[in-house]
Amino acid sequence: MASAPTSKYNSRSLENESIKRISRDGVNRDLSEAVPRLPGEIRITDKEVIYICPFNGPIKGRVYITNYRLYLRSLETDSALILDVPLGVISRIEKMGGATSRGENSYGLDITCKDMRNLRFALKQEGHSRRDMFEILTRHAFPLAHSLPIFAFVNEEKFNVDGWMVYNPVEEYRRQGLPNHHWRITFINKCYELCDTYPPLLVVPFRATDEDLKRVATFRSRNRIPVLSWIHPENKTVIVRCSQPLVGMSGKRNKDDEKYLDVIRETNRQISKLTIYDARPSVNAVANKATGGGYESDDAYHNTELFFLDIHNIHVMRESLKKVKDIVYPNVEESHWLSSLESTHWLEHIKASIFLILTGAIQVADKVSSGRSSVLVHCSDGWDRTAQLTSLAMLMLDSFYRSIEGFEILVQKEWISFGHKFASRIGHGDKNHADADRSPIFLQFIDCVWQMSKQFPTAFEFNERFLMTILDHLYSCRFGTFLYNCESARERQKVTERTVSLWSLINSNKDTFKNPFYTKEINRVLYPVASMRHLELWVNYYIRWNPRIKQQQPNPVEQRYMELLALRDEYIKRLEELQLANSAKLSDPSTSPSSPSQMLPHVQTHF
């Protein structure tokens, strides 16, 4: 793996660019403006535009386009507007109006973003003034369609922490107490020959041979066999994940698959049955039989209990997010935004996603912890709803995952290494905005985590900014963390060698992302309340671009706590300076012990 040398750049620093402009009165004005630019980021062009602000109307500004971002700065004296949009966030770019369009600001570009924003820029109609801007934006926002590299591969940022070293599967399974006499580690997939969307290292029942695994793989969709995700530290029950069995319309059976699930069940002697949670609505599971899929029926899998969790598929989730976006941007007025949400059935969309996902994860966690039963979780292919359920259940059960590093490991393990299709669901660098594979599956997971953090404000080491930073860089293409669909593709592209990890940024600035109320607790299980009354709209994320909406203010106690921490740091710094200045006097035995300077080492503050 590529190691990250000591920090050479401050990634948050701004490079000052001297931009000369001729004002209306013909005078050359040299405006030294701070235009943010990362190491490896190259400015391509800039152009004067009219930004059609949905909240404040037309604003004259200058837009700068680099190989990483679109950056707009207002040119109007009464507006300090700045837009900073990573090009990876852009989903669609459309031309607005034509050469013969009439009406003020009717000619320009309409940009749809993946982070709940829509941007409109008006340009002069003379001389096809938008053509170059449209072509440059299209080339760099959708590099895959133009044989250009995604920005992560040209990003030259350096950090003092190597985020690629955060997750080591052997160490994580060892932390869980694995392998043991019931479970073993296998490298059967080290060349991705068993399953090209699984990681190289898998944990499987001790009694199952590698030949058994190969036979089971033939009966599971995409060869995604049941493998261990987590083991309970006390009762040794497990969470196992996989894809649907290939039952088909004829009701096919596979003795190896049935035996394998029985072997998993027998690793837990406390309960006579293995609990199976199928994330899909039952009608969808039945319908999947027509395409060769299906579910575990009672007559084939005798010692199992099957429950359907009614979580909708990626297409329903995608439409749900679209409806939320239509509500919150840009039409929400602060005076009546709650009634607006209710009138457009926002709660129904939340129920279809956050409510059902959280409810399902609670069932999984409770069955393992209180029911003392091992559980198997799957949906269709085992890389969307399955990842939501296993990771949330593990977050509820294992306090380690509520730390900053633990959560990073959880995301790397359950989402990235086990093949959630980030490239397909997000569309990194891809111009096909209408692709049916796009869906906000990972966003919903992070929303569920935020809901839990609201209900348990002392249980998580990380704060809201941590979650929002993860989501922002899910789209930005600045880091390699979320690129591609699976580990085999990342290995082919040498992602860990050629790109920077998002965890490098976060772990180099950990204090920024810490929750001051965090209280570390061992083995405390969290059961969030998933009722409609307790679910909230994440205003600071979904409506953060709307200046008319008051953001959810930080807890006043938390705010005061942060101020006191800053004050404490300031006092400590001053105290150290005084101690250093008086060290010579303090070491002189002839100095009177009652002198104020000698008392300095014993000075204490209330902090």
Dihedral in degrees, nearest 10, Cα atoms 513, 515, 521, 525: -90
Residue appearing with tokens 């837990």: 268
**CA-CA distance, 243 to 360, in Å (whole number)?**
17
Q: What ranges in 250-336 are assigned the alpha helix state H?
A: 255-266, 282-287, 314-328
Query: Is 503 labelled as part of a ligand binding site?
Result: no
Name the burial class of residue 32, with classes exposed (0-12), middle (13-18) and buried (19+) by CB atoms within 10 angstroms of its CB. Answer: exposed
**CA-CA distance, 536 to 347, in Å (whole number)?**
9
Query: Is 56 labelled as part of a ligand binding site?
Result: no
Question: DSSP secondary-structure letter at 377?
Answer: E
Alpha-carbon radius of gyration of the chain: 28
**CA-CA distance, 68 to 43, in Å (whole number)?**
9
Query: Is 257 labelled as part of a ligand binding site?
Result: no
Query: Is 314 labelled as part of a ligand binding site?
Result: yes
The pair phi, psi for residue 313, each rounded to 5°, is -80, 180
Residues 349 and 324 sit within 8 Å (Cβ to Cβ): yes
Query: Is 383 labelled as part of a ligand binding site?
Result: yes
- CA distances to 75, 114, 599 from 65, in Å: 16, 18, 58
**CA-CA distance, 184 to 205, in Å (whole number)?**
6
Tokens of 191: 């060349």
**CA-CA distance, 277 to 360, in Å (whole number)?**
8
Residue appearing with tokens 């035996």: 259
Residues 188 and 213 sit within 8 Å (Cβ to Cβ): yes
Residues forming a β-bridge with 29: 21
Tokens of 261: 């699930």
Query: Is 381 labelled as part of a ligand binding site?
Result: yes
Tokens of 326: 């239509």
Q: Which of 526, 375, 510, 559 is nearest to 449 (CA)?
A: 526
Q: Which of 310, 207, 195, 308 is nearest to 261 (CA)?
A: 207
Residues 81 and 100 sit within 8 Å (Cβ to Cβ): no
One-letter identity of residue 270: Q
**CA-CA distance, 198 to 402, in Å (whole number)?**
25
Query: Is 313 labelled as part of a ligand binding site?
Result: yes
**CA-CA distance, 147 to 562, in Å (whole number)?**
47
Residues 163 and 496 sit within 8 Å (Cβ to Cβ): no
Tokens of 172: 């994580």
**CA-CA distance, 279 to 356, in Å (whole number)?**
9
Query: Is 294 labelled as part of a ligand binding site?
Result: no
Query: Is 379 labelled as part of a ligand binding site?
Result: yes
Question: DSSP secondary-structure letter at 146?
Answer: G
Q: Are strands 15-22 and 108-113 parallel, antiparallel or unpaired?
A: unpaired
The helix or strand, by DSSP H or E, that contains position 424, with its residue range, turns out to be helix 422-426
- Pick the catalytic residue from 379, 448, 477, 486: 379
**CA-CA distance, 130 to 282, in Å (whole number)?**
51
Residues 90 and 119 sit within 8 Å (Cβ to Cβ): no
**CA-CA distance, 402 to 391, in Å (whole number)?**
11
CB atoms within 10 A of CB 137: 22
Active site residue 379: yes
Q: Which residues are annotated as a binding site for substrate?
A: 313-314, 379-385
Question: Active-site positions?
Answer: 379
